[in-house]
Structure 1
Amino acid sequence: MEIEGTPVTVESVRDVGPDTIALELETPEEFDALPGQFVLLRAAPGDEVYERHYTLSSPSVEDTFELTVGIDPEGELSPWLADLEGGETVHVDGPFGTITYERDQDVVAVAGGPGVGPAVSIAEAAHDAGHEAVVVYQDDEPAHRDRLEALEDEGATVVFVDDDADEELADAIETHLEKGQYYAFGFDGFVRFVADAIEDAGGDPDEALIENFG
């Protein structure tokens, strides 16, 4: 079966949280992506090709790059990806997206659910470049906890917020309003809440870089 896109090797698959995996892929030649961008991944688990957009969750793409994938047990693609063992081939197009981090300033990355992937990659890239980083993450069952705790140990600020703690989320957004360039990643209701909270705190949500996962 012919599949569109650039073939890349799956280097590894690992669990990074409840129903969440990190898919590490070989970086193809001339692939140059920044934290915040996404790719279109295609694969054929059976007789049909499926495609999904996934945002990068690694701070760099030098030899490999990482995608964080939430597993939908009823989905056509994500359960198949979770069962890979490494050495398989998938196909990618991209990178796409204008929301990027250039390693040039302090950052505040606000994440809901699967938005933690790009949020942690941006925070790590900022820290590696000598800038301050804040991550505000709303999820009852956080993923990438090891990377977030490592960031915290190295001086970054990490705030965990429960799913139903919207007042706490708004307070965290207000507290860190002036701490750096704002990013927000998550589904529609979440990023709309973040934009409203920025405005309620006296900031300009139009200056935030917001990726709506739909």
Structure 2
Amino acid sequence: MDATVTVKEAQSVGPQTVAITMQSPPAFTAKPGQFLRVTATIDDEEYARFYTISSPDVEETIEITVGIDPSDAGPFSQYLADIESGSKLSIAGPFGQHYYEDSDRAVVLAGGPGIGPAVGIGDAAGAAGNEVAIVYVSETATPAHRPRLNALADAGNNVTIFTTASDSQSGIVPPEFDDAVADIITGASTEQTFVYGFEGFIEAATDALESASINPDEAKIENFG
């Protein structure tokens, strides 16, 4: 679906991280873990990027989580960082097959911007009465979406957060990462594993899955580049 949507709210959810909530178009459907192509015209030039849905559903609104790298922020990133309620954006999608399908238990390994789909899947699982376990490697000392992660943990879910405080793309995982993955994953038939992040993190996460005797080919993996 291609549509023009209105921004309802934009709020900081962590260092250089903004959650943008948009009005859902009529009849729009999508699952947490899928992504949208978001487009805007700035100074007569069109810019577009892909962002993963971070809301648990899209019945009334759609949320995306946008990471802003100050050292590499182009016009579009800065536009989204400063966007205000009432602004218009064009969206296309949803795209992607690596989304939550109401499994009894979801395991999400997230690096950097992978936190967006992680909290979307976590909240969707909670709303369905299911369980979620998350291992999140943050690129900064203050993790994004901390209140939502805390709420998932308070509800009895296993949430492990590592911080690298690095300005580089995710891909750096601490020595404890493999053990954290092994501790939360069961390999049960009712469990679905998701991996979201940049390539370095994807490699580390698939290595951790193999170390835990889990076939990475059975996981839903989204490489952000």
Report the TM-score, using the length of structure 1 for normalisation.
0.94
Q: Does residue 1:196 correspond to 2:207, yes or no?
A: yes
CA contact (8 A) 2:173 2:201 kept: no
Other-structure match for 2:18: 21
Bigger Cα displacement from structure 2, 103-112 vs 170-179: 170-179
Report the counterpart of residue 208 of structure 1 in structure 2: 219
How far apart, CA to CA, are the structure 2 residues paired with 1:7 and 1:72?
26
Q: Name the structure 2 match of 1:92.
A: 91
User: Is 1:121 paired with 2:120?
Assistant: yes
> What is aligned with 1:46?
43
2:163 corresponds in structure 1 to 162
Per the TM alignment, residue 43 of structure 1 is displaced from its structure 2 partner at its CA by 0.2
Task: Calculate the aligned-residue CA RMSD, in Å.
Answer: 1.4
Q: Distance in 2 between matches of 1:27 and 1:72?
A: 27
Equivalent pair of 2:54/2:119 in contact (CA under 8 Å): yes
| Residue 196 of structure 1, CA deviation | 1.2
What amino acid sits opposite 1:91 in the alignment? Answer: S
> CA offset at residue 85 of structure 1?
1.6
The CA distance in 1 between the partners of 2:159 and 2:3, in whole Å, is 36
> What CA distance in whole angstroms lies between the structure 2 residues aligned with 1:75 and 1:38?
21
- 1:35 is matched with 32
SS at match of 1:40: strand
Does the Cα contact within 8 Å between 2:196 and 2:222 map onto a contact in 1?
A: yes
The alpha-carbon deviation at position 211 of structure 1 amounts to 0.5
Matches within 5 A, 1:45-124: 45-73=42-70, 74-124=73-123
Q: CA deviation at 1:165?
A: 4.5
For the 8 Å contact 2:125–2:131, the answer to whether it is kept is yes
Identity %: 47
Report if aligned partners of 2:143, 2:163 keep a CA contact under 8 Å in 1: no
1:35-59 Cα distance to aligned partner (Å, 9 max, x none): 1100000001222000000000000
For 2:206, the aligned partner's letter is A
